[in-house]
Chains A and B, each alone.
Chain A
Amino acid sequence: MLLFLLILWILSAVLVLLEQRPYRIVIYFGIFSLITSVAYLFLGSPDVAMAEAGISAFTTIFFLVCMERYYAARRKVGAQADSETRANTVPVRKRFVRILPALLFSAGLLGLFIWFIPTGEISTHLRDQYLALFISDVGGENAATAIYLGYRLYDTLFEALILVIAVVAVSHMSWFDGTAMTGSGRRRAEIGHSSMAVFTMRIICPIILLFGAYLFFTVHLTAGGGFQGGLAVASFFICRYLIYDIYDIPIKKVIKMEELVFIGITIVAVLAIFLGVVEFAQIPPVIYLNTMNVLIGMKVACSFFILFYRYIAIERAS
């Protein structure tokens, strides 16, 4: 089964690699992400599979808007002689000679990797220790959650910091002068033209929010958690934009809120794990896990909300 999935996976990847037309790259990339997510599930990691599914939906939206602007820019310039029009004029042999060094370089790296890969039995000491001790050390029933909220909390803090930096960088670099939100000539979301899509989204919206809340509060029992729940909540707000065409939420306040939530995550993490308040005050670990996950989920939801609004709603309208 896994072999079949992997063959499909590599075929869809080759489709992505060989395709030259940008819109089709996005479609093939969606197929690729779906197969990847199923493969993660078969490898016994439902958390990562859910995260990949949610993330790839966002990436697809980003790429679609990027393509739209790409074509708009090309239309503005006219038929300029760049790679898409020039591709077929060079003879095949010359092109092959041109790519030969790159081909040899990457093939050599692949050979080196396969040559140096260790062949013996891998040590399972750490895995056995984590699996045997995580209930008494951190709590909960999901070992992956226990690791990223307990044993390796530094990684989660670092990842939250990177997300904050990404949001700040995106809002700093994007083309926004503050006038677009109140302008009268802004474009509406095109989905408003299709009443069927709007109807479907109105039904799906509360279900998405409910699913996000479910993911927040059952993290210690099943797969899921802050990241995935945050993605679901962010997609609720995005659906709200798509249906009613509202983007009246002040972005600056959301950014401020995200920073505050990040400070909250740091404080809770330091108090609970590094100072040992959970063990000292006999707080049940479920409360710590849920608090941490709700905070992480709020932060991820804020981040993706800002990325989407910044990227699609505001930049598109300006």
Chain B
Amino acid sequence: MNWLELFPVALFFISFFGLLIGKTVIKSIVYILLMQTSVILFWLMLGARHGTAPPIVQDAAYLANLDTMADPLPQALMLTAIIIGVSVIAINITMLNALFRKYHTADWKTLDAMAREQEDNDS
């Protein structure tokens, strides 16, 4: 494999680590975004192993130099993934706003304590 592909893999696990120790909800959402971007970059690098010319055909003689073109399949899949990712982020941020309205904080520990308190009050 190409050793350049280790960059997105490394970033994916660094942001996974950040997701595990993140203190505020905002930073958790940013880590999710970073993980998603690194996955997309990894797929595109897999697709560009054999060549980095865009898969757009200019003339009929393109069949001769198929080997210089990037793989179009990961590109089509990643377009879909980008749109789905932004839907996920939009929903996350809307939920975060509801959280602000109700609890006035974005700190995981404070929120956890508040939720526990509420459970104790209910039971």
Q: Which of A's residues lie within 8 Å of B, judged by CB? A: 2-3, 6, 9-10, 13-14, 16-17, 22, 25, 29, 32-33, 36, 39-40, 42-48, 51-52, 55, 58-59, 62-63, 66-67, 69-70, 72-74, 76-77, 80, 82-84, 87, 99, 102-103, 105-107, 109-110, 113-114, 117-119, 122, 124, 126-128, 130-132, 134-135, 141-148, 152, 155-156, 158-159, 162-163, 165-166, 169-170, 173-175, 222-223, 225, 227, 300, 307, 311, 315
CA distance A36 to B33 in the complex (A): 12
In this complex, the interface size class of chain B, counting residues with CB under 8 Å from chain A, is 35 or more
Residues of A near B69 (CB, < 8 A) are: 44, 131, 143
Give 18 pairs: A residue, B residue, CB < 8 Å, sorted on A: A9-B11, A16-B30, A22-B24, A36-B41, A44-B55, A63-B30, A80-B105, A105-B17, A106-B17, A113-B9, A124-B50, A144-B79, A147-B72, A148-B76, A162-B83, A166-B90, A170-B91, A227-B82
When C-beta atoms are compared, the residue in chain B nearest to A110 turns out to be B13
Separation of A84 and B24 alpha carbons in the complex (Å): 9
B34 CB to closest chain A CB (Å) equals: 6
Contacts of B73 in A (CB 8 A): 126-127, 130, 147, 152
Q: By the criterion CB–CB under 8 Å, are B57 and A300 in contact?
A: no
Give a binary string over B14-53; 1 marks a CB under 8 Å from any A CB, 0 the rest.
1111101101101100110110010011001111111111
For window 74-123 of B, CB contacts with A under 8 Å fall at 74-80, 82-91, 93-98, 100-101, 104-110
Q: Is the interface of A mostly helix, strand, loop or mixed?
A: helix
Residues of A within 8 A of B94 (CB): 169-170, 173-174, 311
B49 nearest in chain A by CB position? A122
Residue of B whose beta carbon sits closest to that of A101: B20
Count of A-B contacts with CB under 8 A? 254
Residues on the A chain within 8 Å of B49, using CB: 122
Partner of B37, one of A36, A42, A113: A36
